[in-house]
Amino acid sequence: MIYITYRNLKFNDSSTVNNVWSVKCDNVEEKYIEFMHEKAKEINVVINPHWLNIMNWQDHNNHLSIGEYGNKEKQWNKIKRQWNIDKFIADILKGHKEYYRNVVRF
């Protein structure tokens, strides 16, 4: 299966192709979400199942002290930066980068 990842451009609120991957499975998104949930369990935090952000302290992570929650929030943000979808595809799923060329429409 071919997967295309994008990156957002900050100066004009658009996106551009980041990478094109060839992967031997057809459910990369589900596997990535499962992987991130496992990472959250490792540091004992509850995350949003869709956006993968850490849930608030009062309703979902009150098993931690407020100080611990602040540290876990920083730790989780670091994990999210480190384990983006491209790194997951490359390192865990052993995907292969495909060469591509943007064609300008006339």
CB 55 within 8 A of CB 48: yes
CA distances from 46 to 5, 63, 75, 82 (A): 26, 10, 13, 18
- CA dist., res. 76 & res. 68, Å (int): 12
| 17-31 tens-digit pLDDT | 999 999 999 999 999
| 50-88 tens-digit pLDDT | 999 999 999 999 999 999 999 999 999 999 999 999 999
pLDDT for residue 10 is more than 90? no
Domain ranges of the chain: 26-93
